[in-house]
């Protein structure tokens, strides 16, 4: 039986998440989405954000898995407690930067629609800018604009 809270619907916040997060299981996606949306937090703070009961150990286990997958990273933080005592807590924060996400999205676009060629992606983009089909753009102009472009066969071009 599927509960309504388990069905994911694309909302505006989900559309802005890195594609790697979209591919996670629903619970990992929920946890990663909270951290990407709200910012760095501890496992305990994350637990308070979740609508349903989940043990702190289960949350920490998922957070470690997300760190291993490169979705999140963690930092040690020493927290001052009452009576001078100290405790160490981990703060979990997003690991994927905007530039990483852009590069990953472009590479995925090239793989999915352009046979892996970043040069063809650039060619199609320039074609759209000039309101013409990408085939009208001369490859030599592309090579000058993108000196380290990747050719359709995957080799780096040094034009």
Contacts of 6 (CB under 8 A, 6+ apart): 26
Q: At what angle do helices 118-129 and 98-113 cross, to 10 degrees?
A: 100
At 24 the pLDDT is 92
Indicate the domain borders of the chain: 4-95, 99-145
Q: What is the pLDDT of residue 10?
A: 45
Per-position DSSP letters for 61-82, written without gaps between them: HHHHHHHHTTSEEEEEEEEE-G
Model confidence band, residue 155 (pLDDT cutoffs 50, 70, 90): low
Over residues 113-141, mean pLDDT: 75
- Which of 17, 26, 10 has its CA nearest to residue 101? 17
Fold of the 4-95 domain: Arc Repressor Mutant, subunit A (1.10.10)
On the question of pLDDT at 136 being above 80, the answer is no
Residue 96: count other Cβ atoms within 10 Å of its Cβ.
19
CA atoms of 39 and 32, how far apart (whole Å):
10
């Amino acid at each position: 039986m599927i509960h309504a809270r388990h069905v994911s619907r694309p909302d505006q916040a989900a559309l802005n998440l890195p594609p790697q997060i979209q591919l996670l299981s629903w619970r990992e996606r929920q946890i990663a989405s909270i951290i990407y949306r709200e910012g760095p937090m501890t496992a305990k703070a994350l637990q308070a954000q979740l609508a349903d009961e989940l043990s702190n150990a289960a949350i920490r286990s998922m957070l470690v898995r997300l760190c291993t997958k490169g979705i999140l990273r963690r930092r040690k933080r020493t927290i001052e407690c009452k009576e001078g005592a100290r405790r160490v807590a981990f703060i979990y924060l997003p690991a994927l930067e905007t530039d990483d996400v852009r590069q990953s999205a472009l590479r995925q676009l090239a793989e999915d629609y352009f046979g892996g060629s970043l040069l063809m992606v650039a060619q199609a983009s320039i074609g759209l800018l000039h309101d013409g089909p990408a085939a009208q753009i001369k490859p030599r102009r592309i090579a000058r604009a993108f000196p380290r472009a990747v050719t359709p066969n995957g080799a780096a071009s040094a034009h």
